[in-house]
Structure 1
């Protein structure tokens, strides 16, 4: 089961598609990745994707492929030695965590997540929902918020 449902991904896609043409450019996709602390050049994305823009179905495929790649790279749930790339990834995730931890208490609540996504124009407050459903699958101790390890699990599974 995907932690982000099709509806969530549709809202993200629509917000990324600034000109409303039904296509997300690599620049728009790269903007999102940069905002969450994942750094690729547009050339690297184009080389990986093979085209300069994505329609919604291609966006879903991209999301699924990067989620699957991370599970394979991490060896599923098995631990592995930290190499230089893993250390860089850990640093990027720590930076991203700080972006979402608005009150700097070491946790990300659903309202902090929703607030940041709203500021990035990736969450529509008028939808009436909240981000609780996004963090719930990763909230292993069921305290209603994510610590860094829970956040890391969510990010590694969903986007990187």
Structure 2
């Protein structure tokens, strides 16, 4: 039997892993939600295999199954979000190398744009209170349940007072945020 050409995962886009930990968590949450095809909060090896296939990333089924199962906690049917983060960290370190502490200005700008897209779900160039509430809710944060809190968050960075956050306002806010390293 001939071997199918497999994508070279070591040449994956460096933007797969964002350098800001809080932005990376948001992006991973979105990826997790996409891979969790039935929305039960768990990614089974079958769901992950199907998602990778749809992305054009064929993986050896037994290797994928073994790798995924090594991150599933005993008694669970699949990866919960924390397990998915652990799997990503494990694969990320082996595929992309350890994250370096230095980043260029263009890398930082690129990360900011990627993060902004996570929040700007309708792609209109602005983050509305509804969009912010949806993302916070997906992250399981209490603020996502309280629209008043979400509106206050928007107002705290909304310099032009139009009730929504544009990329410049988002970028300024993110540059003020300091997240302890995990």
TM-score normalised by the chain length of structure 1 = 0.47
The answer to which structure has the higher strand fraction is 1
Q: For CA contacts below 8 A with separation 6 or more, give which structure has more relative contact order.
A: 1
